[in-house]
Amino acid sequence: MIVAEPKPIKEILEMTRDCGKILVVGCKGCVTVCNVGGSKEVGILASTLRIAAKRDGKELTVDEHTLERQCDPEYIDELKDKVAAYDAVVSLACGVGPQFLSERYPAQKIFPGVNTKFMGGALEHGMWAERCAGCGTCVVHHFGGLCPIARCSKSLLNGPCGGSSGGKCEISPDVECIWDMIVTKLMQEDRLDDLLQFRPAKDWTTARDGGPRRLIREELVK
Amino acid sequence: MNTSYEPKIIAFCCSNCASSAAEISHVMKKMLPDNVKVVQVPCSGRVEVLHLLKPFEEGADGVYVGGCQEDSCQYIKGIKKAEKRVEHVRKILSELDIEPERIDVFSLSAARGQEFVEIACEMVERIKAMGPLPIKINA
């Protein structure tokens, strides 16, 4: 899933300081799962904004709404009859949400309420780690099911660098060296020879390196 | 400072240890201060961040949670969850430049009726010293 974290309250207050009526919009997708943008968090942010307004002696109306997702136009459309009544909309979805809202409602001020971090999964409740860099050509099976593009600090594809020490990456003792993990895993599975197979250089044009991407599935397009 | 100021305080108390302590305090004829309103919850772990923020939004000057001691929580980790959520609300209050000490969490033994009342009095005195929640009234 896409993992995000809340923006600092002061930043959101600064963005919305001139607004008298705000709509906070959540998303029941990834941001609900990582406890940052679901209906619960919409309520928390709305309450926080109201407390801040009372503290400052300001009149402020904050309404709450949570969409099924903010990455499908059909759900963004649900706001069409209400959004114009607000001075601003704060979106708690990943970066896609504020953009889709901005495109659909160009006259409206749309503010992001979270910082989108990465594609990853939960290690335990409340802890998430990056697992996928969206490179567009998934080859984790070449590396024992582990992804050196997302999990190596240098995205190396041929093996560890000289900075790998004690199973840790040189950038931080908290970061595991994924190449140490890949080699260990393949040795345990007696598949170390997989790493000796010649493979052509990776085509990075399918990754973000090739520019903004678009995917069309002809069999699904109406 | 306005000496007649009496803070409004909301206390979320679990239905096990905290409520048992409350009953003991009644038997001992120890009364809670009038400005503390108790909201009983099944477990302190049921209290969410939003529950803790809403009283401040609605004009309360302080909030606290009363729950079981860590090794006697019927729902195992209720009081630990409450502590984390209270800490989270403290951070929110700090970011709003509001004293984080306006919210607290206490572990109670079921038999400590006197302590139940003492905690309420402690919060009243603490919040009284801070003054009302900093709210500006528009002229």
How is residue A211 written in tokens?
């520019």
Residue-wise pLDDT for A159-182, tens only, equals: 999 999 999 999 999 999 999 999
Domains parsed from chain B with CATH numbers: 9-130 (3.40.50)
Phi, psi of B28 (to 5 degrees): -80, 0
Residue-wise pLDDT for B3-58, tens only, equals: 578 999 999 999 988 888 888 888 888 888 999 999 999 999 999 999 999 999 99
The lowest-confidence range among A179-183, B72-76, B101-105, B119-123 is: B72-76
Residue B2 has pLDDT above 60, yes or no: no
Is residue A67 within 8 A of residue A25, CB to CB? The reply is yes
Dihedral sign, CA of B40, B41, B42, B45?
negative
> Could you give the CA distance from residue A206 to residue A79 in angstroms, rounded to a whole number?
34
How is residue A16 written in tokens?
């919305």
Contacts of A9 in chain B (CB under 8 A): 92, 95-96
Range of the domain at A150: 133-210
Res B139: pLDDT: 41
Task: Looking at the structure, tell me whether residues A20 and A114 fall in a common domain.
Answer: yes
Res A212: pLDDT: 95
Task: Looking at the structure, tell me whether residues A81 and A6 fall in a common domain.
Answer: yes
* Within-domain flag for A222: no
**Share of chain A residues as helix, strand and coil, in percent rounded to the nearest 5:** 35, 20, 45
Res B47: pLDDT: 97
> Could you give the CA distance from residue B4 to residue B130 in angstroms, rounded to a whole number?
14
Residue-wise pLDDT for B75-101, tens only, equals: 999 999 999 999 999 999 999 999 999
- Which is more confident, B135 or A100? A100
Domains identified in chain A, total number: 2
Any idea how long chain A is?
222
Indicate left, alpha or beta for A211 from its phi (over 0: left) and psi (-120 to 50: alpha).
left
Res B110: pLDDT: 87
Q: Give the minimum alpha-carbon distance from A51 to chain B in angstroms, rounded to a whole number.
A: 5
Looking at A69, A84, A118, which one is the last position of a domain? Answer: A118
Task: Looking at the structure, tell me whether residues A105 and A151 fall in a common domain.
Answer: no
* B133 to chain A: closest CA residue: A55
Task: Looking at the structure, tell me whether residues A106 and A150 fall in a common domain.
Answer: no
> Could you give the CA distance from residue A83 to residue A67 in angstroms, rounded to a whole number?
13
Of B49, B56, B136, the CB nearest to A51: B56
How is residue A141 written in tokens?
């099976």
Res B23: pLDDT: 86
* B88 to chain A: closest CA residue: A44
* Within-domain flag for A177: yes
Contacts of B135 in chain A (CB under 8 A): 54-55, 57
Res B104: pLDDT: 98
Res B136: pLDDT: 57
Dihedral sign, CA of A170, A176, A179, A181?
positive
Regions of chain A with pLDDT less than 70: none
Phi, psi of A136 (to 5 degrees): 90, -10
CATH of the domain at A31: 3.40.50.2300
Q: Give the minimum alpha-carbon distance from B78 to chain A in angstroms, rounded to a whole number.
A: 16
Q: Which residues of B touch A (CB under 8 A)?
A: 48-50, 53-54, 56-57, 92, 95-98, 133-138
Res B30: pLDDT: 86
Task: Looking at the structure, tell me whether residues A8 and A105 fall in a common domain.
Answer: yes
